[in-house]
Amino acid sequence: MADLVGPEFWHDRPVLVTGATGLLGGWLVEALLSRGASVVCLVRDGVPASRLYREDIVRRIVTCQGDIADQAVLERVVGEHEVRTVFHLAAQTIVGIANRNPVSTFQTNIAGTWSLLEACRRSPLVSEIVIASSDKAYGEQMQLPYREDTPLQGRSPYDVSKSCADLIAQSYAATWATPVVITRCGNFYGGGDLNWNRLVPGTIRALLVGDRPLIRSDGTFVRDYLYVEDAAEAYIRAAEALAADRTCSGRAYNFSLGRPRTVLEMVSLVAAATGVELEPVILDEATNEIPAQYLDSTRARRELGWKPTVGLEQGLRRTVDWYRNHFKDVL
C-alpha cells in the first residue's frame, strides 16, 4: 500500500511532530526533513542536549511551545500551520517515573492523546495521524510473540497509559472516521537517548567511563530492541499507507527486529560494541515489569512493505559511536 505514495508526497507537506526532543523524535524529524517536509514541533521543555538542539535540527523546523494536554494550544498549532500529517510521539516513557508519579504519566499519555486527536478531528486539513502506542499496551500475556489481535490489558501505570491511548485512538477511528494508525514497537535504541536509566544508553555511558553497568532487574527479562532509524522509517511508512488507503484507519502495526534478547545478553552485546568488558551490577529491584515481551511484525512487513535494515550488532556499533562523540569533551 505504501508504494502508492510517491516521493513528492512529503515535499513541502506541513507535518506536526510531538515529542521531538525524545530519542525517536529527533530521528523522525530528520527523516521527514530529508524528504522535503515542512516540520512543526510542539515542545514543552527545551532539552539542549537532545539531538533536536545539539545537532541544530531545530534551526530547520518551526517550534511551538506548549503542553500536549492543552487542547487549545494544539488546535491553534494545527490550524495556524495548516498541518496535514501528524506524528504523536509525546509521552512520559519511563516505567519507574510512572510508578512513582502515575498522575503525570496518565495526564501526558492519556489526556495528551485525546487532546491531540480531538484537535485533529476539528481540523478540516489533517488527513493522516500516527499514534505511538507500545508493546507495553499488551500487558503481560501467556502467548508470545504479541500479534495485533492480542488483547490490550496493561495493569501497571505505564502499561495502562499505553493501553488507554491505543484504545482512544481506535475509538476516534471507529466513531468519527478520524484517519489514524497506531504503531506498537519494542524498545528503541540509538544515538540521542538521554534517559540513562534505560538499558542501552546507561550501559554505554557506564562502560565508556569505566564503571560497572547497573541492571535494575535480575537480568533475565526479555525484550525486543529496534534501531531508531528503522523505527523512524516505520512511522513514515505507516503514514504513507494511510494516505494511500483509508481502510488502514484504526489499524495497529507491530514493528520489531524479531531478535528478542535478555537484559544480560544485551549488556554483553553493548560491551562488545564498546570494547570494554566489566561485570554488571545486578540490582534486582525492578517492579511492575513484565518478564518477557516481544512482537510479531508480519503485518507491517506484508501490508506496509517495511522491514528493519539495521541488525542489532551494527545498530549498537552506530549507537556507541554516537555516544563516544557525545562524550568526547568529558572522557
Give 230-282 pLDDT, tens digit per residue. Answer: 999 999 999 999 999 999 999 999 999 999 999 999 999 999 999 999 999 99
**pLDDT tier, 46 (very low <50, low <70, confident <90, very high otherwise):** confident
Summarize pLDDT for 78-95 with one digit per residue, the tens: 999 999 999 999 999 888
The reported pTM is 0.95
Q: Which residues pair with 18 in a beta bridge?
A: 42, 88
Q: Where are the domains of the chain?
A: 9-187+226-257+293-309
What DSSP string runs through 205-267? HHHHTTPPPEESS-S--EE-EEEHHHHHHHHHHHHHHHHH-GGGTT-EEEE--S--EEHHHHH
Contact 133, 252 (CB under 8 A): yes
**pLDDT tier, 296 (very low <50, low <70, confident <90, very high otherwise):** very high
- CA distance linking residue 261 with residue 186, whole number of Å: 11
- CA distance linking residue 204 with residue 195, whole number of Å: 12
Any idea which residue has 534501531 for its cell?
A: 227
Active site residues: 158
Mean pLDDT computed over 28-51: 94
Mean pLDDT computed over 17-35: 97
- CA distance linking residue 25 with residue 182, whole number of Å: 16
Summarize pLDDT for 194-206 with one digit per residue, the tens: 889 899 999 999 9
As its CATH architecture, domain 9-187+226-257+293-309 has: 3-Layer(aba) Sandwich (3.40)
Contact 41, 29 (CB under 8 A): yes
Q: Is the pLDDT of residue 331 over 60?
A: no
Q: Which residues have CB under 8 Å from 71's CB, separation 6+?
A: 115, 118, 119
Mean pLDDT computed over 202-219: 94
Q: Is the pLDDT of residue 3 over 60?
A: no
Q: Is the pLDDT of residue 330 over 70?
A: no
Residue 2 pLDDT: 43
Which DSSP category does 109 fall into?
A: I
Q: What is the dihedral of CA 222, 170, 24, 229, to 10 degrees?
A: 80
